[in-house]
Structure 1
Amino acid sequence: MKNDAQASVILADSQFLITDAMQLLLKAEGYRLLGVAKYVFELEKLLQAEVPDLLISDYATVDYEGIDAFKSMMQRFPGMTIMVLTNQLIKADLLGLSKLGIKHIVCKTIDRDELLMALRLAIKGRKFFSEEVMEVMMDEQKRKVSNMEQVQLTHTETEIVKMIAEGLTTKLIATTKNISFHTVMTHRKNIFKKLGVSSSSELIMYAIRSGWIDNIEYYI
């Protein structure tokens, strides 16, 4: 993906205080702002004109028809990264966004330095959930961990969990560990079964809550 100075951005949010502040910040940091949308039809026009490297949007303030609207955009514009910037920290919605494949969810109370870091990581394709978002999302995993006996993973399984948290694909994990793709898939299935999780996001949250992975490693 392009570096920060070359990255193009579209803002989609109906709160003018947010869009005005974000416009100033993005321009000051050298991002190329393609436009601002308050409504879905305005966003569609901007996307038809030019697909940005990064879409920053709040699903709660723009008139989307639920979070599935992001799924449609991800399918139509696979090269576009989506960052959700919101104050609606509803667990079901956040988990739903994560399961859709949204890898960047940030609370609007985030400070300037952390927001700039989130932008840089998004442009680089690295995952980032702000601390408030992670706390809400991990609440469910906290309950699961407290209600079941601590599960023991093998050394290899623990390494694979860390690689998944770093965003490595199954193919890259296989190459890094010099094992077959099929072997990695078998390890993944065993890990998911042991922990009772069904997605990589759930796996990472479980691992953080259990202390297997430092949450700072996951953010950065």
Structure 2
Amino acid sequence: MNHQNNHKKIMIIDDHPLFREGLKAIIERDTRYKVIGEAGTGRQGIKMARELKPDLAVIDISLPDLNGIQVTQEMIDQLPKIKIMIVSMHSKIDYIAEAFQAGALGYVAKDSASDRLLHGIDCVLKGDYFLDSSVSHQVVEKLLQFPVKEAKIADSEYGSLTPREQEVMRLLAEGSTPKEIADKLCISPKTVENHRANIMKKLDIHSTMELVRYAARLGLIDVDLWKE
């Protein structure tokens, strides 16, 4: 097996060379990941992403030209498969909510990047949302205020889930990873993924964030659970 081809390609966009170095060192502690490019401005980052086609871009929200949210939107427009992780000094809720609306899947505060970054990258590359726990409960509260896409939230839809699906749904909405759920329920991660797919289909929801909103509206989860 050629490990070289199995590397996930990661790009860093941040205007502080020292911080880029730090991020690169953290990311490359994990042999599955390779930093293939670094940029100091949003435009340079977008251009480089088009050329290098990374699997994931780690983007600082404060850049000298465009902000990280604009960069996220443009990158996703041009490279629909790319995954975006935002790092930021700001834990301003509006920024974070906007970043997710723009298509980012992950958000890490700069002061906790060293502890949380690799875990976040793991989640985001799988297509899961990752919210740094220091701010995530506030973000969820903010996201709950966004109108849900014409989802007619009714107990009858929730009632159509099997007891095991209801259990998996609650754990997902509380922020557990599929692996944590598998361990807790003594089932395989593959089974958890199957349950998740069935839940999404039955409830006609398409992302973890929608699932969290749905669960919070039904009163199944306490938003405070998203605190550390």
* Aligned with residue 36 of structure 2, among 34, 37, 55: 34
* Structure 1 letter corresponding to 2:159: T
* Structure 1 letter corresponding to 2:37: G
Length-normalised TM-score, structure 1? 0.67
The aligned counterpart of 2:212 is: 204
Offset of residue 173 of structure 1 = 7.4
Q: Does the CA-based 8 Å contact 1:118-1:128 persist in structure 2?
A: yes
Offset of residue 63 of structure 1 = 2.2
* Structure 2 letter corresponding to 1:162: M
The aligned counterpart of 2:159 is: 156
* Structure 1 letter corresponding to 2:17: F
The aligned counterpart of 1:112 is: 114
Length-normalised TM-score, structure 2? 0.65
Offset of residue 135 of structure 1 = 3.1
Offset of residue 46 of structure 1 = 1.5
Offset of residue 34 of structure 1 = 1.2
Q: Does the CA-based 8 Å contact 1:173-1:184 persist in structure 2?
A: no
> Where in structure 2 are there 5+ consecutive unaligned residues?
147-152, 179-193
Q: CA 1:211/1:17 → structure 2, altered by over 3 Å: closer, same or farther?
A: farther
Q: Give the secondary-structure state (helix, strand or coil) at the position aligned to 2:112.
A: coil
Higher RCO, Cα 8 Å, sep 6+: 1
Q: Does the CA-based 8 Å contact 1:8-1:33 persist in structure 2?
A: yes
Offset of residue 58 of structure 1 = 1.0
Q: Give runs of aligned pairs for residues 37-52 of structure 1, distance below 5 A.
A: 37-52=39-54
Alpha-carbon deviations, 1:139-171, whole Å to 9, x = none? 447999xxxxxx99454278399288489xxxx
Offset of residue 103 of structure 1 = 1.6
* Structure 1 letter corresponding to 2:61: Y
Q: CA 1:162/1:101 → structure 2, altered by over 3 Å: closer, same or farther?
A: farther
The aligned counterpart of 1:125 is: 127
